[in-house]
Chain A
Amino acid sequence: MNTDTLVSIRDLHKHFDISGGWLDQLRFTGGRFARRKTLVQAVNGVSFDIMEGETVSVVGESGCGKSTLARTVMRLYPPQAGEVHYRGRRIDHLSREQFKPYRTRMQMIFQDPYASLNPRMRVRQILEEPIRFHRPKTSGSEVLDRVAEIMQQVGVDPEWRERYPHEFSGGQRQRISIARALAVDPEFIVADEPIAALDVSIQAQILNLMMDLQEKRRLTYLFISHDLSVVAHISNRVAVMYLGTLCELAAIDALFDRPRHPYTQALLSAIPRLGAKGFQHQRLTGDVPTPIDLPSGCVFHGRCPHANDRCAREVPTLRPQGQETLVACHGVAEGRLPD
């Protein structure tokens, strides 16, 4: 194993049971009643490593399981199967108490800064809480200094510490959520669509802030986004997800210059481009299947222009293609896809 691996995700599975109570589960089939469970298979066997100091982005369309993956890594959801390792130690099976020290090392930023800040707490209280909880020995004046220092770092005037979240704009609020994540000096930050709710000029401010903070504090990011041009800008490596599985994992230049997986190719071709006339994107046929009823074989085969019998039967595994790319595709592995 590489020595500077920070987080290692191994064959992670997360399913949600949406079948409700046992009465809801009853189905009348073949002349008798049977109990059926309905499972949403949100994440199915995802594995990858995150190195110290890098930004790994997870992209995919809505419902592909990218947020579930982020939350499972953060242990906001318990995984069904698979392991998460942090600096070589397995953390997914730890008890709440055992996990506590890791909470100061890994923090999360959420999409909606309106929903993720408690409207009844002042900014000072929001930022003090993690410090007081994780470092109970800190004195009152130290906590205050710390709050002022972080507010300064994220570009919110410390004079405003007695205000409530509703008194701030969306961009300011997202700065406060970033400040809250930084309050306990984490190494690893999971950001779930941190700029999706913001306007373009504000998005730029937050992205710049995140890149500056990464440089200053040597942060490692797991960045979840659906916006490919943002991802292209800030990531070192990108993981492309489709229907709960990883299709392609590649270094940023390799991915954008030479996407290998047919889904990645379609996704990249659909990015709206400034100054492009008309459309040259690859059209995908068919609708996105639901994660309740996963297709057999490769999850993408129903919409893939290159699918054959093997794709419908056999689940492809991630295989290295060149130096910096891993692709899960029979067609690429067999070399029958056009370049």
Chain B
Amino acid sequence: MDRQPLLSVRDLEIRFRMRHGDLTAVNRVSFDLARGDRLGIVGESGAGKSVTGFGILNLVSKPGYIAGGRLLFEGRELTALPEEDLRQIRGNRISMIFQDPMMTLNPVLTIGTQMVETILAHRAISRAEATAIALDRIRKVAIPSPQKRLQQYPHEFSGGMRQRIVIAIALLNSPALIIADEPTTALDVTIQADILELLLGLCQSEKMGLILITHDLAVVSQVAERIAVMYAGTIVEIGPTAQVAGNPQHPYTRGLLGALPQRVPRGGRLNQIPGMMPTLTRVPEGCPFSNRCTLCEEVCRRRVPPLEPKAAGCLAACHLLD
């Protein structure tokens, strides 16, 4: 493990300004990511996982804003950087991959143009050199006949191929960290497996860090080394993949895993967590999961549990665990 982590997130708090006061979408989230490390952030919709991802790049759009916390990336404090310096980090040191490749790619420019422009925005090199880099990256994501493909438009590619292009663009400036927000949710399973395998292989060969944001626990467990489980804006459990997926500690993680059909004998009853995730205006006091937790005690309704080391070897935010 490196002496200094690649990315260190401390007490990150992201709020949205609303007419009736602020909503806290991300509430004191902290984690570290070592160089070349792969972290998965899982949670249901509205848990704050995507906002966390955007927050790292300070890309939270209005009315959202970073209300507190520190984001240390390669020794630099991102929250204090001027916009221009931040722009040089985005797409250069940290790249992002989004769910829908059709939205990320410009439909009226060829793939080649888009790739070359991305390189030229960050580096003072010639067009020919930039094209050479683009070709190299297209080869890296295993797209056949790269020369020809560079001259094509996004609509000429299939969904899986488009997502490969997006990954190639993310790789252009050899970033140290890739944040992938539901990169395979829009794809079919056979293609999903191809894309995830590609992403995993690239992270290993290029020594890139990865933050994989997804709702799919199985997907995360295949790619990430560590998993953070988010609920209503907070991390409720974080630990090594085998630990979190195999021996979950927090009642929410346990409930979530029990709800997966894979873990239950065929035709048996699935574990269901009663109720639903609270909307951000109605997060209960104390532990945010307290109103759905079957083990809830007096203390859970009063005090917010801190994310702390538990006997099992992970960090969890629960009063009832030792």
- Chain A proximity mask over B172-194: 1 for CB below 8 Å, otherwise 0: 00000000000000001110111
Number of interface residues of A (CB under 8 A): 41
Given contacts A211-B269, A274-B262, contact A201 B256 (CB under 8 A): yes
Chain B residues near A281 (CB-CB < 8 A): 190, 193-194, 197
Interface hub of A61, A199, A226, A271 (most chain B Cβ within 10 A): A199
Q: Does any Cβ of A come within 8 Å of B34's Cβ?
A: no
Tell me the bound Cα distance from A273 to B218 in angstroms: 5
Contact indicator A199/B45 (Cβ below 8 Å): yes
Chain A: minimal CB distance from B152 (Å): 14
Q: Does any Cβ of B come within 8 Å of A230's Cβ?
A: yes
Given contacts A200-B217, A275-B246, A288-B158, contact A266 B190 (CB under 8 A): yes
Q: Does any Cβ of B come within 8 Å of A40's Cβ?
A: no
Chain B: minimal CB distance from A159 (Å): 17
Which residue of A has the minimal Cβ distance to B188? Answer: A61
Identify which of B18-26, B79-87, B271-279, B304-312 touches chain A: B271-279
Number of interface residues of B (CB under 8 A): 44
Q: Does any Cβ of A come within 8 Å of B196's Cβ?
A: yes
Contact indicator A233/B256 (Cβ below 8 Å): no
Chain A residues near B109 (CB-CB < 8 A): none
Query: Which of the residues A199, A252, A279 comes within 8 Å of B193, measured between beta carbons?
Result: A279
Contact indicator A228/B189 (Cβ below 8 Å): yes
Given contacts A233-B264, A273-B218, contact A61 B189 (CB under 8 A): yes
Tell me the bound Cα distance from A200 to B217 in angstroms: 9
Query: Which of the residues B45, B160, B189 comes within 8 Å of A271, measured between beta carbons?
Result: B189
Contact indicator B190/A267 (Cβ below 8 Å): yes
Chain B: minimal CB distance from A226 (Å): 7
**Other 15 A-B pairs with CB < 8 A, given A230-B261, A270-B189:** A199-B215, A201-B256, A201-B276, A204-B260, A233-B267, A234-B261, A267-B189, A270-B192, A271-B189, A271-B218, A272-B218, A273-B262, A275-B246, A277-B222, A279-B197
Give 14 A-B contacts (CB < 8 Å), ordered by A residue. Answer: A199-B215, A200-B44, A200-B260, A201-B272, A202-B276, A226-B188, A253-B266, A267-B190, A272-B193, A275-B245, A276-B222, A277-B222, A278-B197, A284-B190
Residues in A lying within 8 Å of B, measured CB to CB = 61-62, 169, 171, 199-205, 207-208, 211, 226, 228-230, 232-234, 252-253, 266-267, 269-279, 281, 283-284, 287-288
